[in-house]
Structure 1
Amino acid sequence: MKEIGNGNVLLDVEGHRADVILNRPEKRNAMNESLLRDLRTALEKVDAADDVRVMTLQGKGSVFCAGMDLEMMRKLGRDDSETLDVGLDDITHFIDEMDVVSVASIKRGAIAGAFELVLPVDFRIISRDAKYGVIEVTLGVFPSGGATQRLPRLVGLSKAKEIVLSGDYIDPLDAKEIGLVHEIVDDPDETDERAMAYADDLAENAPLGMKSARELLNSALEMPLDEGLAFESAMGERLTETNDYTEGFTARIEGRDPEFEGK
């Protein structure tokens, strides 16, 4: 396991899985400027790694992330000249554009900025006791890290308004019912382990197929149906020329597990 930058983020690579771990447990992994810079660096390393197919996003200690660092946010509010070199929107946009599939481990809490941090992540595993939601309207602002745009695409406009404008926490069971999270873990101390196992299962799939499907799915609501279908057809045809395509069907015919190489 490696410390990234100033040590506010840890990076561990095991097989085809990379674990990106927020590392300010004494502050419940609240995101300050240093952590955001380290997180961006870690994500760049993951995206550039040829062997990595799936990434988990975790928090060191008892809580995934308490959101943005409150002292930092208060300072930014007092001084208009204060800006962040790397903001939350930079991080979430980068996750959107990554080639790897991602899984978030929401252990005990992901509120405000932390809620927005995991919205572009492909799969969200949450502990049953987690505090989860965007509470910014109770703090004199609104969630400007992507929630007003990504949340309606995930749960629909009406439900997104309820979540954002109420400022209430979302019960994990309700979050699963509306498709906002994918799995609930009863024991919060097992959330990270479950997220890693979930990621390992995904890593067994063909990396080129997952990358292409993720790109198409993420763009599905941004283009007309006929344009999307044409894009899908063209990308599917390109994959028929890859080694993984041949390996997948050969392995199925021969009754064995495929050995995908991403080529």
Structure 2
Amino acid sequence: MTTLIRRLARPGSSPWRWLGVNLQDTLGQTLHLTPRDGARLLAGGGRSLTGCSCSQSRKQHTEAAAAVEVDLKRLDGEDDGIAEVLMCRHTARNALGHVFLSQMNDLVSSLSNDSAVRVVIFRSLVPGVFCAGADLKERALMNNSESDLFVHSLRSLMTQIASLPMPTIAAVDGAALGGGLELALACDLRSAAYSAQMGLIETTRGLLPGAGGSQRLPRMVGMTLAKELIFTGRRVGGQAALEMGLVNKAVEQNQTGDAAYREALSLAREILPQAPIAVRMAKEAMNKGVEVDISSAMAIERMCYARVIPTRDRQEGMAAFMEKRPPRYTGE
């Protein structure tokens, strides 16, 4: 068994390199992992680690594997209907590693069918950073095929975020670089602090944006400017991002370092009272319509419009107008 573990830990062995686990350097002991243990470790569970004679090292490794890197907070009271995706990988500046990706994927999947959520805010709990991009330490352990599969998973996650039925807002209070900016681009709206730094810096690392950035940025700021930003790997601050249409709102950073979040929350509160089905259908009409010719886009708009006609919310909207009162939408 010891011989097998040593073989798996060799640089040429892909399974443990893909998990980002150095069995000897991390624990200093021989560690017996089953495939099921590996899957749990990747998902952030990590409670099935066995066979380590050093209890302290085992405890530290288990706690690290089980750490929450992405969490969900549902607001209540007058903000009921707003959900916040909290990025909290403090040890690595919210770098996009395997555990982070797995937890984010699960969370976004749970939101996709949640009719109670009307607006989603993506924010960071790590001071000075939104998302620093790829976890280069993990990527360095991957071979070419593993790296390709991981970037494919990352691209799929960004597509899943972009496909969420409700409006999404990225609150960029710090650095959003590479995959971090691609995550923000996958959201519908963005707010940023003037001090934030944003850029698709992949060309400075011998790469190109691979999680949707090469496609979403040109659609957002125009092809010419997008090419300039990607070719140079340039970083821009919040004010410049506002002027080029990369973000919707830009504000001076405050003492608590969450000015962009507060702006995002204010924007979410403007969306919250509106008819949720109508807002979702408007998002679908725009997202699908922009990808096709104008005639096809009109047909998409018609289909989306037809889906709101029989809703109780439309009837409530008409009644509230006639009675000169604020509407009370229920999402039905």
TM-score by length of 2: 0.74
**Runs of 4+ with >6 A deviation:** none
Cross-structure match for 1:241: 310
Q: Deviations over 1:141-185 (max 9, x none)?
A: 111111111111111111110111010102322211121100012
Q: Deviations over 1:176-211 (max 9, x none)?
A: 112110001212432222222221221111111111
* Mapping 1:1-263, distance limit 5 Å: 6=66, 7-14=68-75, 15-62=80-127, 63-76=129-142, 78=143, 80-81=145-146, 83-84=149-150, 87-187=153-253, 188-263=257-332
Q: Which has the higher contact order (CA 8 A, sep 6+)?
A: 1
TM-score by length of 1: 0.93
C-alpha spacing 1:113/1:193, structure 2 compared with 1 (3 Å): same
SS in 2 for 1:142: coil
Counterpart contact for 1:33–1:86, Cα < 8 Å = no
SS in 2 for 1:222: coil
Q: Deviations over 1:65-110 (max 9, x none)?
A: 111112012222x453464397221111101211111000101110
Identity, in percent, stands at 29
Alpha-carbon shift at residue 222 of structure 1 (Å): 1.5
Tell me whether 82-91 or 161-170 shows the greater mean CA deviation. Answer: 82-91
Q: Which amino acid aligns with 1:116?
A: E
Cross-structure match for 2:29: none
Residues of 1 paired with 2:112 and 2:306: CA distance? Answer: 25
Counterpart contact for 1:152–1:160, Cα < 8 Å = yes
Q: Which amino acid aligns with 1:57?
A: F
Alpha-carbon shift at residue 61 of structure 1 (Å): 2.2
Instruction: Select the structure that is richer in strand.
Output: 1
Residues of 1 paired with 2:210 and 2:156: CA distance? Answer: 12
SS in 1 for 2:145: coil
Residues of 2 paired with 1:224 and 1:237: CA distance? Answer: 20
Q: Which amino acid aligns with 1:91?
A: L
Q: Which amino acid aligns with 2:138?
A: M
**Where do 5+ consecutive residues of structure 2 fail to align?**
1-43, 46-65
Residues of 1 paired with 2:152 and 2:266: CA distance? Answer: 31
Residues of 1 paired with 2:312 and 2:134: CA distance? Answer: 44
Residues of 2 paired with 1:174 and 1:41: CA distance? Answer: 34
SS in 1 for 2:185: coil
Q: Deviations over 1:229-261 (max 9, x none)?
A: 122123213312110101112112222221111
**Where do 5+ consecutive residues of structure 1 fail to align?**
none
C-alpha spacing 1:9/1:182, structure 2 compared with 1 (3 Å): same
Larger radius of gyration: 2
RMSD: 1.8
Q: Which amino acid aligns with 2:246?
A: L
Tell me whether 163-172 or 233-242 shows the greater mean CA deviation. Answer: 233-242
